[in-house]
Amino acid sequence: MTVVAFDFDGTLSDSEMTVLLGDRCGVADDMAEITERSMNDEIDYAESLRKRAALLEGLPEADVEAAFDEVELREGAADLIEELNEAGVTTAILTGGFERGVAAALEREGVSVDHIVSNRLPMTDDATELTGAVEGPLIEGTKDDALEDLADDVGVDMDDTVAVGDGANDLPMLRVAGLSIGFEPKPAVEPHCELVVTSMTEAREVLLEEGVLPEP
């Protein structure tokens, strides 16, 4: 058995959830700038995520739902996930992004993964708008711990894990995985990737070559 763990924003999806949310309240440019600095390892990820969440304070629930409805999987991502599932590979999404956006994108494509570890944007007590806070295991927690916990839960050695990501917050899981794949990785990330791909088709080819997926 093998575990394949994907990042979401920038990897399985070419959407950036905080930017989509920021579009709804006129702060998308600020969001994009903070995100880029974080992904290039210029500022601490937890700090960047809190800064971005704070910019969303007061965003109405209807706008939140509309933004998450815009989150889409990258071309070929759903097919690759489905093929991994059918091959008996444990699939996971480890993302600093938000559970609702991930769930919406997967549901739209009619595909699922075995495990999702993600963050949340809490609503006010009356559930009408965002508080500007962020909650979840991948704010201060890191993706190496998440991947190690997942491997332990399913009884897989770390040597039999695969991590796929693009940004600085993916570095911890890329460093500990048995195979690290960079998906159009940022310059600060690429040196830490054993292999680099630019499409889900290329990712599939790598997984075939590495024996993660069986030859058709």
**CA 212/CA 81 separation, integer angstroms:** 12
161 in Cβ contact with 2 (< 8 Å): yes
- Residue of 9, 144, 160, 170 marked active site: 9
- Residue of 7, 144, 160, 170 marked active site: 7
Q: Is 29 a catalytic residue?
A: no
List Cα–Cα distances, 139 to 165, 168, 190, in angstroms. 17, 13, 22
**Residues facing residue 117 across a β-bridge:** 94
Q: Is 7 a catalytic residue?
A: yes
List Cα–Cα distances, 28 to 12, 17, 18, 22, 56, in angstroms. 21, 10, 8, 4, 10
* Residues belonging to the active site: 7, 9
